[in-house]
Amino acid sequence: MERDDFNNAAKTLEDAFFAKENARLLQQMRDRARQQEQRAAMREVVRVDDDALIDHLIELGLEPQTVLALQLVPLAAVAWADGKIETRERDAVLKASAATGIAPDSVAGHLLDRWLMQRPGAELVDAWKRQMRAIWPSLSQKERDEIRASAIDRARSVAEAAGGFLGLTSKISPEEQAVLDDLARALAD
């Protein structure tokens, strides 16, 4: 009888071990699947092929919605630089946002639509600057260069959308240039 008790105890221990091991492996599979989903969602937002940048943004605790909002703020700031938004500026903002994967019926799309109808307060750009300053030191030089170029290029395309007179003057107004310069300073190393 003692041998049967020993075998039953051994079987119980073995079952417990494998149950814990199976649970651990199952959790690892779930974690990997969640990580792949996060990467895919972030890749849709950031639109770069740099997996290291994608992983780094996730490690920093950023969500795709946060990154989307960070991309939209410079566009809204430039569009409102002279106190009003012209049709061509609005179209340029919507085109730039669509190029980054923002659907008009998404939360980010609705947020942008609101910013295009009513000028957001200066605290929005200040919050964007604070967020970028918080993220900036954690990024490599290559990552900073990519983000800077992308943000400034999109903002510049909005500034150039409605300016100029018969091709004789700059397409970018002094107010828009001041906003572009401010954005560039916020993204300086």
pLDDT of residue 166: 46
pLDDT confidence of 74, banded at 50, 70, 90?
Answer: very high
Written as one string, the DSSP assignment of 80-96 is: TTTSS--HHHHHHHHHH
Do 115 and 76 meet the contact criterion of CB atoms below 8 Å apart? yes
Q: Which of 165, 163, 100, 169 minimizes the C-alpha distance to 180?
A: 163
In this predicted structure, the answer to whether residue 86 has a pLDDT above a threshold of 80 is yes
Q: Which residue has the tokens 């969602």?
A: 41
SS3 185: helix
In this predicted structure, the answer to whether residue 32 has a pLDDT above a threshold of 50 is yes
pLDDT of residue 147: 87
pLDDT of residue 12: 81
Average pLDDT of span 36-46? 79
pLDDT of residue 168: 53
In this predicted structure, the answer to whether residue 123 has a pLDDT above a threshold of 60 is yes
pTM given for the model = 0.66
Q: Which residue has the higher pLDDT, 119 or 6?
A: 119
Q: Which residue has the higher pLDDT, 44 or 153?
A: 153
In this predicted structure, the answer to whether residue 179 has a pLDDT above a threshold of 90 is yes
Do 53 and 47 meet the contact criterion of CB atoms below 8 Å apart? no
Long-range contacts of 77-80 (CB under 8 A, 24+ apart): 77/124, 77/125, 77/128, 77/155, 77/179, 77/183, 78/155, 78/156, 78/158, 78/159, 78/176, 78/179, 78/180, 78/183, 79/116, 79/158, 80/119, 80/120
What is the share, in percent, of the chain residues with pLDDT greater than 70? 92
